[in-house]
Chains A and B, each alone.
Chain A
Amino acid sequence: MFVERGVLAAETGKAVDEASEPLVLLVEDEPLIRLATADALRFSGFRVVEAANGDEAVALLRSGVRPHIVFTDVRMPGETDGLTLLSFVAENAPFARVFVTSAHLTPDEAARAGLFIQKPYPAERVAEMFKAAIRENDSTN
């Protein structure tokens, strides 16, 4: 049972989301990968908010978007890479579980990455991992 609703305040400043689907904030700068992943997650029952880079993800979180899951690439253009976003979420959106993805991580990046999913990934498997993480969160809260 997914108990927390996504609260989407990006446009009007008020909550606009009444859906019960678990919410994923997907942060990926490659549009075709982002689209394929978002499609697969939606097909698996998630609601997906797409961010084209870490800066957009920060803007969404600051606007009031409350995802269950943040799924982020590591290397992206802009001021906020995936690992910086990981720190931002830990401080400002601790309710969200963060999964990091990349084709390759340096040892230093790997040490900071936490929950890591190697690229390329089967999106259906990723959806199962997210559902398990949310169930785990629900059972501990």
Chain B
Amino acid sequence: MTAQTDNAAECVLLVETDVLARFPLADYLRECGYKVLEASTTDEAVSLLNEPSLPVSVALIDARAAGAISGFALAHRIRGERPGIDVVLAGSTADAVDSASEICADGPALAKPYERTQVLDLIKRLRAARDRQS
């Protein structure tokens, strides 16, 4: 269905509370060759991030994800504690208006609903930029 890529080692943490948005995106990224960790809440995301055997490369986080901390707070924490992980915040236009300064400060943002090819392109660009830096 989708061309496999050479990114089998890349691990994407997808933090999305809406299962009907999370599942098709996770399925698509797997078809593209990524290992995808699904988290329905920020609490689940923290559990997965604390597992040392899971080398997360990219964290795609819904700004409105449920959990003890917000999606914004999770993104901020990852950037502070895990600089090797590329973080992408996703949200609606309303989220962006509500929290424009946070999005601007926190780098790449993605509009919801997810456009799968756009997500894939963004992940590829982030990892390519990371490779160039290293």
Name the interface size band of chain B: 10 to 19
A50/B24 contact (C-beta < 8 A), A18-B1, A19-B1 known? no
**SS class, residues of chain B in contact with chain A:** helix
Are the CB atoms of B20 and A59 closer together than 8 Å?
Answer: yes
Are the CB atoms of A8 and B27 closer together than 8 Å?
Answer: yes
A13 CA to B19 CA, complexed, in Å: 14
Asked if A60 is an interface residue, CB under 8 A from chain B, the answer is yes
Are the CB atoms of B20 and A63 closer together than 8 Å?
Answer: yes
**Contacting residues, chain A, for B21 (C-beta < 8 A):** 11
| Binary flags per residue of A9-28, CB closer than 8 Å to B gives 1, else 0 | 01110001011000000000
Asked if B48 is an interface residue, CB under 8 A from chain A, the answer is yes
Asked if B40 is an interface residue, CB under 8 A from chain A, the answer is yes
Q: Which of A50-71 contact B (CB under 8 A)?
A: 50-53, 56, 59-60, 63, 65
Residue of B nearest to A39 (CB): B35
Asked if B51 is an interface residue, CB under 8 A from chain A, the answer is yes
Count of chain A residues near B, Cβ 8 A: 21
Least Cβ distance of B57 to chain A in Å?
16
**Contacting residues, chain B, for A51 (C-beta < 8 A):** 19
Are the CB atoms of B1 and A31 closer together than 8 Å?
Answer: no
Asked if A110 is an interface residue, CB under 8 A from chain B, the answer is no
A contacts, CB < 8 Å to B:
8, 10-12, 16, 18-19, 31-32, 34-35, 49-53, 56, 59-60, 63, 65
